Each structure stands twice: as C-alpha cells, then as structure tokens.
Structure 1
C-alpha cells in the first residue's frame, strides 16, 4: 500500500497509462497518433472538451488572448522574486492568477507558464521580458519570448511535440495533487499551484536536468562504458532510466527521440551532443540489464527531455517550468473532471503507532 501502488483513486476519460505494454492514450488517441502530428492546442481541445468546448483553432485564439493577460503579471517580477529559483518564481506569479472554475480562468492558467518561464529566464539574465504575439502558435510564441526572435519551424515543432507528449500522464503525483485540491472546490488556480508544488520535487518534474550533468561528466562516447560502470559500482542511480509504471520502454522517450531527429542542426540540435547521448543510452541499458536482471530499467522521458530542451535553448534550471507549461493542460482538465464528480477525496490511513494507555 506504500505509495498507493495499484490503488484506483479516480475514473477518468483523459488519459490511460498502459505500463505493461508501453502505451500512453490521451482522450482515446495513442501518443503515436498525436506527437509530431497534433499541436498543443489540438491536444488541449481534447483534454478541455468539457471545460472550454473549443476546437484546435478556437483554442489557439483563446490561448493567445490569455497569454496577453498573463503578461500583465510579469510587471510584478521584482528583485525578491528574481532571487528565487525559476520554478519558485513561476509559482509566485501563478499565485497571482484567479482561482475560478470557468473557461476563461482555465485558459489563463494554461497560458501563463509559457509566458512566465521565458520572462523569468530573460529577467534573470538582465534582459527585458518580451510580450506575446497573438498571431503565433503557443510553442512558437514561447520560444520567441525566450530568444527574442521567431524560431525555426523545426524548433517550434519540436517544442510543440514536447508539450503534447507531457500534456497528461494518468494519476501522477502532481495530477493527483491537483485533483485532491480541486475536490475541495478551492478552484482551478489552487489546484494548479498544488500540482506545481508537487512537480518541483526531484522525484517528479525536477528530474531531467541531471541527465545533462551525466552527459557533461562522460564528455566523450568512448568514456561512457567506464563512467557508467563506476557509477553503478558506487550504487549511484543513472538518471533517465527506469519508471514507476512502465515495465517496458517509456513511449514518450521514443516520441521525443523522433522530435530530436527531426530537429536537426538547423533547429539547434548539436549532433555531437546527440551522438554522446546515444552512446550513453546504449551503454547504460547494456550495463543496467546485466547488473540488475530482475528489474525493468528502460529509457524514460527524462533522458530525451533534457536533450530536447537544451537544444531549444532553455537553461536546465528552467526545465521544470517548461514541463509545467505542458502538463498544466492536464492538471486543469483533471481538476474539472474531479469537480464534476462532486466528491471530496478523503482516503483513510492505518495507524501503526503506540497504543494509548
């Protein structure tokens, strides 16, 4: 029962994580049918069908308007907020948004991280925050606000694929936190803040950055075998491998690896870096299977997330915030679904302490 493994805590039409077969289904469509083929706005139109009732084109327009509204809060990025981590500054700005249970609030909460993360990154670097472009798609606008120029088509497509890939993933820790808070009728904003707090933890959304630390330590493909052997001998965990649910390869890893291949050098991908990553992945899987034959330790979403977000120019300390920019769509959808049940989430605990005298 520890960790609530195999406990069914909710019924949902939003996503199914089939760990045994390595499949992710979002609103009746497999990730293979969505990633690289559907925009983030398109996936939101599926997730938010009961919340905003807009098609992909309608979501694009409404989300662009919401980004403009979110940008008004960037004026509150004072030195105290900028002294925080990017994730903590994001959380503080998100706390300024409304806490309603209406479509306008839902879209504002979903739009905001794509505005706040680039603004915080730029302000921390001593640069001015850039306003959204209402004529741009969500992923394109996020990269434009980060870099100050319209990205290559391949780069925008890669970020779009990432946002789609992480938009929802069953009852993970942050989504469960969102549903618990939503069940109290505290509002979408409170549910999203709870989810963001859960996402901050290194066992959840704070995990992709260390994958790059591993690549930095290996340096060259020919060093991978010795470095990995040394880490395993010391009992260290290899970041980017293994997953709590998937008993086979994480399908999101394949979606992001394909996005990296399409990105190419023109979109910002360092081919040398990709070759290093592929060498590390191959050697890590080989040694993990040999050292721990009884455990399923395949490549997970963190491994290629780190490479993709690095190639797109996000600093590694912003990775959790970018994750939030994608997952927030799922959080809001789950909050709405939980509210519709009208049921407060209130599990029981088993007392194992000393008996009263």
Structure 2
C-alpha cells in the first residue's frame, strides 16, 4: 500500500533550517549541501544570521527523496546516482516531449521564428517579428579575429574567438543586470553569425537569423522557402534542452559571476565534444557514406566492427522518439532535394532496428538538412552552437539571480592519506 503524501504546504510559508532539516530527515548541514547543489534556494533572515527556505520547495524535495528511495541521505538525494540537479524554470522534458516555460517547444518552433522563441525563453514574453541587430563595431572586431584563424579551424573555434573579440568591444560586459544581459544576448548572436565566413561568394547580414546563417553554411545561393523554414525551425528546436553538459558549464561560469560573453565561451568550450555538439557531424558523414554505397547495411557493419556506436540514433532523455527529430523530418519532407537523404536516414534506422530498437535523434535529422543543402559536415555543429547560445544566455540569467558560487561541489578525496613523506 502506498504511503499517503501530506497535503502541499502554503507556497508563501518559509521554514527555518531546523524545520527544513526535520521535514527532509537530514542534518542541518545537509540542508545547506542541498543549497550548494542547486536543489534548494535559501534566503537570509533580515537582520539575522540564519536562512529560510521555501516550504513548497522543501516538500517537493522530500517527495523526490521518498520516491527515489534516497531517504534524504545526502545532497545527491532525489537524484538517482547522485547526479547534480539545478532548479530551473526554462525547460521541462517528460514523456518524449519537451517544453519551454511550460509551452510545447515543438509547437513554438512550428509557429514562431528562432528569434521569437529565444525571446520567449529569456523573458516569458512573445515578441512577434522581433529581429536581432549586431553593432558594426562588434562585427568588425569579431570578423578580424576570426579571419586570423587557420582555415582548418572548427566552428566552435570560430565562434569562441568571435565571442571573446566581441567581449573586448563591449565596455559594459560586466553589467549583470537583467536588461544589460538581454541586450548582450540580442547583439551577441547576430555578431557570431556575422563573423562567420561565407560559404560561397555572398554574405547576408540582415533579415531573419536563419537567412543570414544560410549564407555562411550552404553553397546554394538562392534557397527555397522550405529550406529556410527548416533551418529556422532547427535553430528554434535546439535553443535549449535542459541541463546539457555545455549548459552546466555556462551555469558554473555564471555562478562565479563571469560576464555573459565568458559564460557563452564556457559553453562553446564544451559543445565541441563528439558526444555533444559535434555529434551531428558524425551523422552527416554516416549519411554521406550510405548515399554513396546505396545501402545502410555495410556502412553500419563497418561502424560496429570498428567498435563505434551508430551516430544519430537514440537519446538518453527520450525512451521513444526524439520530438526534435520528428518535427525536423516533417519539414524536410517538404523539400524535394532532401528526398534521397531522407530515404538514406530511414534505411539507417530500419537496418539498426533489426538488433536495437533505437529511434532517430535530432543529429540524424540535422544531417539530412546539412547533406541535402550542400553544407559541410561541420555545419550541424554551427547550427547547434548558434541556436544554443540563446539557451545559454537564459540559463546565465537564471544563475545570476541565485546565490553566487553555489555551483561549487566538494571533491571526494580518494588519494593517499596524509601525512606522506616528501618525494625525493
């Protein structure tokens, strides 16, 4: 028989440290460990030395601890495996769907532009028709910095250098007020896109962000409306995705009160990994190999023989289908040029499904877009990074409102016990 859970407390009621500890069944010092891990927020007592805690938050954490069987034994309580959790109002992922501020993210991407979805994530307000403008001085210094890099520089290198360069041009970068950070967001994203070299002999620096980015990625000079719509939707779908590794890096930087440019740079430093932003490039190459051979079976066999997992399949947060992939595939089906790549992607999924019931993830959908649009294998990484910059800014904004340096876990020392003799 299930234990009956107590009725929710008054959301306005605040608990003392002792009361919170009793409700959670832990020691008072463990309550502060929960705060340092981002699982609870605290407020200093006016004129006093103690802290108070939101009763609703404490009760929710107690419910999670009971549900997960942790018993509130430590700061990892409520998180299987002791994983770090961070309170956020931005993105929720559940039941093979995800939501931005409570609104279905796929619906947002279907009905609104990337810029509009970014504004919604930042402010909770919808601003139809909004566009972002890059100051000429920022673009100039960012382009000079990017042009100085070697030709083989990766997308993350270009964007990271452009971010640092733009920061040097902004004397107000240390202003962490909400209005100032939002102003930075609205200028940094178009600056990053403007700093990228053109894919062909043309460059567009006005209009929707997807249109500007297209000229940096595709050799096709005059894209059809369906292709631009697919790129814009990809940007909107990738704006945020809970606490991915790069987003955690951004929040750690913001917790130390690094300015927004530095926080974004931290995210760009992580996104380059093959298990994160660069995954779409692996899917792009896989798709190209399937198109060249005309059959997915030998290509997948080679991947597995080499001990590699098949890219573009499965996602740890979606037991079923990745909703981002589903939405992007639907848009790609409206592009005649993408038909061959779509068939190849379907062949990959069906061939692998004989042994593992894995669905296509957003990396495979991105690969269909980049392969069919005449883009380089690294284009998906660029799309991912530009899109996610908006989400990183949203998370930085949230973190600036939290207690400084709360993202500072304690190390669990496993080395030799001191005192040890001095080395010779």
Distance 2:237 2:214 in 1: 17
Tell me the TM-score normalised to structure 1 length.
0.83
Q: CA deviation at 1:188?
A: 0.3
Secondary structure, in 3 states, of the residue corresponding to 1:341? Answer: coil
Change (3 A) 1:11 1:315: same
| Pair 1:66 & 2:134 matched | yes
Superposition map of 1:306-317 within 5 A = 306-317=367-378
- Aligned residue pairs: how many? 329
Aligned to 2:274: 202
One of 114, 130, 151 as aligned partner of 2:203: 130
| Pair 1:288 & 2:356 matched | yes
Aligned to 1:329: 390
Distance 1:4 1:200 in 2: 27
CA contact (8 A) 2:370 2:379 kept: no
Distance 1:214 1:54 in 2: 38
Change (3 A) 1:131 1:219: closer
Q: CA deviation at 1:70?
A: 4.5
Q: CA deviation at 1:308?
A: 1.1
Distance 1:67 1:158 in 2: 27
Q: CA deviation at 1:9?
A: 2.9
CA contact (8 A) 1:71 1:131 kept: no
**Per-residue CA distance 1:255-290 (angstroms, 9 max, x = gap):** 11112112x12xxx332222122111211122224x
One of 48, 55, 68 as aligned partner of 2:122: 48
Change (3 A) 1:285 1:10: same
Of stretches 178-187 and 97-106 in structure 1, the one that deviates more from structure 2 is 97-106
| Pair 1:9 & 2:85 matched | yes
Bigger Rg over Cα: 2
Superposition map of 1:1-357 within 5 A = 7-18=83-94, 21-49=95-123, 55-57=127-129, 59-60=130-131, 63=132, 65-66=133-134, 70-72=138-140, 73-98=142-167, 99-100=173-174, 101=176, 102=180, 103-117=182-196, 119=197, 121-122=198-199, 127=201, 130-133=203-206, 136-144=207-215, 146=217, 149=221, 151-219=223-291, 223-229=295-301, 231-232=303-304, 235-262=307-334, 264-265=335-336, 269-289=337-357, 297-344=358-405, 345-357=407-419
Distance 1:302 1:145 in 2: 20
* Aligned-pair Cα RMSD in Å: 2.6
Q: CA deviation at 1:222?
A: 6.2
Q: CA deviation at 1:49?
A: 0.6
Distance 1:279 1:319 in 2: 21
**Per-residue CA distance 1:310-343 (angstroms, 9 max, x = gap):** 3333311232122111111000010011001133
More helix by share: 1
Higher relative contact order (CA 8 A, sep 6+): 1
Gaps of 5+ in 2: 1-75, 168-172, 420-424
Q: CA deviation at 1:163?
A: 0.4
CA contact (8 A) 1:15 1:168 kept: yes
